[in-house]
Amino acid sequence: MVTRRTQFELDAALRREHILAGLMIAVDNLDAVIALIRASKSPKEAREGLMKTFSLSEAQAQAILDLRLQRLTNMELITIKREYAEVVKLIAELRAILGSDKKLMALIEKELVEIRGQLATPRRTTFVACDETPVDESEDLAVVEDVTVCVCEGLKVRKMLTRQFSLAAISEDKPLFVLETKSNQRVRLFTDQGAMLVILADEIPETRPTTRAANLAALLPFEKNEQIVAMFPDDDEGDYFFYLRDGNVKRTPAAEYRVRVKRTAAVSLRDKDRVIGVEKRLHEAILLITKQGMSIRFATESVPAMGRVSGGVKCVKLEKGDCVLYAAQLPEEGEILTVTDKGFGKRSPIFDYDLQGRNGKGLKTFDLKKNGANGTCIAGVLYVGAPREFTLTQRHGAKTVLSTNEVHIEPRAGKGAMLVAVVLDDDVVSVE
């Protein structure tokens, strides 16, 4: 695990060193670079000119074009040089670790000692009562069929034969999660209140697009105001990653959730904490973004595996009143689209979100002005892997559909541009 993490950090540092090397060339030839860009008729021509004149890669040339004018001050130029020196030093250290079994073992020993110091505490978990109604184990002679289960807003659920299922036909139900399975297989539903509910696909009434969806609350023991945040097949492969609103992330093997009751605790929550999402292992890094505009990106492997009813480990230090709004494992390519409550938004490349150690304060992901002109908090976040449409919903009901291509690309800590006019006491409440 430590070897893979170190290699991942080295790869990220090498990519950053490559970009900074290009910026250093631009710094050393600042006047010539500015003259070339001003003489170009288009960004493409400027990029190709930089590549040809200064022997740069396309990524380096694009980084130079993305450089904001305020970064051309003497202080910022010194900062670029300092960062380059730090990255070069980091690369040397990481290569030394990977090239020496002795240094690698020393690092592993150090981290194990730190973990022992953090976890050497009395048991904090408590045993809680759960619904002991056993899952019906009986098998009937019905033909096993391929079915699709779709959970919709308001705890509504549809089950249809997979060959007949069409997402477009049930769009009015506002589908949230879709799962293809077998009619004799169970489905795991995770909720925001930290519970897991299990239901056999055959126990869900079969519906057609022209008939009403079934009510999940009539089929399973939900608590008041409880909502579903994830749905998975009932299998034991891989690990689950639980993302909590208060900044914790919990990693637990899926096999821990092989239970024979319809409702059981999935994660331990404190006070008014809530689960905002659950994922299986997808990518090498996790990104958390908070409501007050902070972000932290850290290695997935840095989250230790824990028991089923544990509360996870702290992954971001939150200011008073702040909470995690978005959490996901993301690839190294693509962009993060961020929108504020006042309708300002931007796209930022994922490589702008530097990899950090877990449980730091993080970095600013949106320059929210003190006067609130461009927003007072983050209203929604989307990962953009390819151009797509998205919808901004305002408190008073107005909906605006936009293309991601209409949103400007800015640095991670940019101030954004207006996407939709928000007036009086209205504000943006969701981005989807």
End-to-end CA separation in angstroms for the chain = 35
Assign residue 296 the CATH number of its domain: 2.120.10.90
Please report the pLDDT score of residue 172 as a whole number. 82
End-of-domain residue from the set 75, 99, 119: 119
**Tens of pLDDT along 289-327?**
999 999 999 999 999 999 998 999 999 999 999 999 999
Return the residue matching tokens 């997402």: 167
For residue 101, what pLDDT is reported? 86
Residues 345 and 418 in one domain: yes
Mark whether 18 and 142 lie in a shared domain.
Answer: no
Give the domain range for residue 334.
282-432
100: which 2 tokens?
Answer: 């020496």
Contact 326, 279 (CB under 8 A): no
Residue 415 placed within a domain: yes
Q: Which residues pair with 394 in a beta bridge?
A: 428
How many domains, in total, are found in the chain?
A: 3
Q: Is residue 259 part of a domain?
A: no
Could you state, in chain order, the average pLDDT of each consecutive group of 10 residues for the chain (432 residues)? 86 87 82 87 88 88 76 67 87 87 86 78 65 53 86 92 86 89 95 96 90 92 95 94 97 93 94 95 96 97 93 96 97 96 96 94 95 94 95 93 95 95 90 93
Separation CA 426–CA 340 (nearest Å):
12
Residues 188 and 97 in one domain: no
Q: Is residue 262 assigned to a domain?
A: no
Both 317 and 193 in a single domain?
no
The predicted model scores a pTM of 0.68
CATH at residue 20: 1.10.268.10
> What is the layout of strands, in order, in the sheet containing 248-253?
275-280, 239-244, 248-253, 313-314
* pLDDT at residue number 108: 85
| Boundary (domain end) residue, out of 69, 85, 119 | 119
Quick one: 289 and 424 in the same domain? Answer: yes
Q: Are 372 and 337 contained in the same domain?
A: yes
Whether 307 and 203 share a structural domain: no
What is the tens place of the pLDDT at every residue in 336-351?
A: 999 999 999 999 999 9
Q: Which residues pair with 326 in a beta bridge?
A: 289
pLDDT at 117: 76
In a domain, 103, yes or no: yes
* DSSP states of 382-407: EEESS--EEEEEETTS-EEEEEGGGS
- 287 with 209, same domain: the answer is no
Asked if residue 429 is part of any domain, the answer here is: yes
What's the Cα-to-Cα distance from 387 to each of 240, 332, 390, 403, 404, rounded to whole Å?
Answer: 29, 17, 10, 7, 6
Q: How much is the pLDDT for 341?
A: 96
Asked if the structure places residue 202 within a domain, the reply is yes
Of 87, 119, 151, which one is at a domain's C-terminal end?
119
Q: Does residue 411 lie within any of the structural domains?
A: yes
389 and 296 fall within a common domain: yes
Q: Are residues 307 and 432 in the same domain?
A: yes
**Residue 114 shares a structural domain with residue 140:** no
Q: Are 33 and 65 in contact (CB under 8 A)?
A: no
Radius of gyration of the chain measured on its C-alpha atoms: 25
Assigned domain for 253 exists? no
Specify whether 392 is located in the same domain as 287: yes
Tokens encoding 48: 């190709």
Contact predicate 384/336, CB 8 Å: yes
